[in-house]
Amino acid sequence: MDFELDKPNYGQPSVPPIDFRALLNDEQFAAVTAEPGPLLVLAGAGSGKTRTLTYRVAYLLSQGVRPGEILLLTFTNKAAKEMLHRVHDLTGIEPGRFWGGTFHSLGNRALRMYGEAIGLPKNFTILDADESETLLKQAVTALDATFFKEKTNPRPGPLFSVLSLARNTQLSLADTVARNFPQYAEIAHRFPAFAAAYTSKKRDDKVVDYDDLLELWLKLLTDAPDVAAYFNNRFRHVLVDEYQDTNTIQAQLVDKLAGHHRVMAVGDDAQCIYSWRGADFENIMSFPERHTGTVIHRIETNYRSTPEILAFANGVLNCQPKGRHFDKELRAARKHGTKPAVIQAMDDREQAAFVLKRISALVEEEGVSPNEIAILYRSHFLALEMQLALTRAGMPYTITSGVKFFERQHVRDLIAVINFVYNPANTSAWNRIAILLPKVGEKGASKIYSAALDHAKLMQQNFIDALATDDVLSKVPKDAKADWPNFCASLRQVYEAMNEDTPADAVSVAIEGWYGDYMKGEYADYTDRLEELKGLVGFAGQFTQMTDFLAQIMLLNGETSEREIQPDTECIKLTTIHQAKGLEYDVVFLIGAAEGQFPGYRTIESGDFEEERRLFYVAVTRAKNELYISYPRVASRPGPGGMMLSPSRFLQELPSDLYDELRIKRSYGW
């Protein structure tokens, strides 16, 4: 096979003098100017990781390395563009002269050039997410025409998520299901045949999906030695951003591409928080073993936070098990501020009232911009009372990690079930839940509803009972008939709970019935969504009458939709900690820092706390000036430990002199 360098990369343009010593601190300078070889740069939160990587590229260019000899691997194209544009500002060298971008984009580029070496035609096309799911559905249906008709079986989307995670982690499908998708445990033995059929169909159609861009690139480097040798010779320097987020295949790609060991991996083991989407903590921990002679550089000067916040963050790091992390200590470049504050509230509502009162003081009395205030939480349902409090107060907020709680699809579905059972004349609620049945569209839902209404009137029968009659069943599409008895029985159970028990009991029954089964097939993240719906049970527990519960939800939704936030409006930010990684705010409120909430009960049961502790570290290092950590003493719904909650173990294990405890008075003063 013949190999050619890209024409634009011939020659070495002159680079203007750059005073690296003046532009970088000591730690950054040492890493940027390090001798070529295996380098692991451990860049703590707020320490200038991107700056270090950018200047490393510029430094290599200043040493005579050609742009085409540098490979820059990132996790977003935005990150690559920003770095290479900054390199352009420093050196005058155009970004287009580098191979820089995401693993997937560069995998596509490599496969376009040399994919024929592994039997991949040059004219292959890439499937988007919807096309991939459609093709998977066709492959599975060809093997079993009834598989997707069983409501608890995964739909094509969730099934694709299972196969994708297994491919990226290179774990068996059985292990992947056991670890991440326990709702599919009983049918996991069928998945390997589905995966094989899907792979075969892609090959026949000459298409690849997103995951193939990594898998086939690795196959190319493994099965075509001449291609691997070319890339090794071509890219004399391999640089990797956010290395702690690499999955198994990505780490293997880096090892293959950097067979010469002139590789710089930049990351922070303490910020590895994405194992649920394939990131492998062991990749960064075992980097020195896989690249003999690795020199480790630590960048620990933090430009973001006050010394008091960093002392708290260092305390979290010090609680990690010995030998299971790289030692590091963040040092502050800023002046002193106030200690982080820990607040015990009576319940979720008092916690929300405290946060609201403190935010009002920050904005109105201290001049802090709402844009610089963030409320962080481990899981969406923990922010329910906070959203309600902000809405009632008319305080604008945005949720950067998704839609508001009552606008989330599964929450709206469940509320529609409750609304319909409470008031069968509510055809909007009926249509929302009926079309969740197989092959039932809006017209079909209307026909079923009309048949039930006619029967109920004729027989002077309750509408819910009329749904279960043969007259109505005759209007149900063939594909939905198997679901129909369970659907009707579930509605009847909700009706009974609604009339005999509390609103919270009715919501619990709705979750445990037909809709809970539906969610298993519809959502790959079923367990997380189930937790959110259980949070709704806690909210319903505040009410003794169903009419009050539903009225409160409708009022809140109405207030939210009517108060459209203009693009230039300053807003409080609400976000999960995962979505906040890489961001920073003047003031951070971390809510729900209780055992059973953060860490959650599932983590407590598994006994694997290390990623949760790293997540806690990521949360506290988002704060620049002030950090407030709060937890409720009484749970909104009973957990394995009952109603009473204790502070998160991540707080309890810290020395008490790292924070101040604030006491809430009943007037919500402190």
- Residue ranges of the binding site: 43-50
Closest by Cα among 244, 247, 250, 253 to 277: 247
Give me the residue label for tokens 């599975």. 140
Q: How far apart are CA 374 and CA 390, in angstroms?
A: 13
Give me the amino acid identity at 628.
Y
Q: How far apart are CA 344 and CA 662, in angstroms?
A: 8
C-alpha dist (Å) from residue 475 to 444, 467, 490, 649: 8, 10, 19, 55
Task: Please give the radius of gyration of the chain, using alpha carbons only, rounded to the nearest integer.
Answer: 28
DSSP, residue by residue, 265-334: EEE-GGG---GGGT--HHHHHTHHHHSTTPEEEEE-EESSS-HHHHHHHHHHHHTSPTTSS-----EE-S
| Residue 564 token pair | 């459209």
Q: How far apart are CA 433 and CA 445, in angstroms?
A: 9
- Asked if 595 contacts 653 with a C-beta cutoff of 8 angstroms, the reply is no
| Residue 365 token pair | 């009395």
DSSP, residue by residue, 422-437: H-TT-HHHHHHHHTTS
DSSP state of 373: E
- Asked if 621 contacts 315 with a C-beta cutoff of 8 angstroms, the reply is no
Give me the residue label for tokens 């490393």. 56
Q: How many Å separate Cα 309 from the centre of its chain?
A: 25
| Residue 605 token pair | 């049961």
- Asked if 134 contacts 156 with a C-beta cutoff of 8 angstroms, the reply is yes
Q: How far apart are CA 274 and CA 611, in angstroms?
A: 8
CB burial of residue 500 (10 Å; 0-12, 13-18, 19+): exposed
Q: How far apart are CA 75 and CA 86, in angstroms?
A: 17
Across 211-244, b (16+ Cβ under 10 Å) vs e yields bbbbbbbbbbbeebeebbebbbebbbbbbbbbbb
Peptide bond between residue 8 and the one before it cis (omega within 30 degrees of 0): no
Closest by Cα among 118, 89, 99 to 16: 89
| Residue 155 token pair | 């739909």
Binding residues for ATP: 43-50
DSSP element (H, E) containing 344: strand 341-345
C-alpha dist (Å) from residue 240 to 18, 95, 267, 478, 554: 23, 17, 8, 54, 49
β-bridge mates for residue 267, sequence order? 42
DSSP state of 597: B
Q: How far apart are CA 151 and CA 438, in angstroms?
A: 8
| Residue 575 token pair | 């976000």
Closest by Cα among 114, 156, 129, 135 to 203: 135
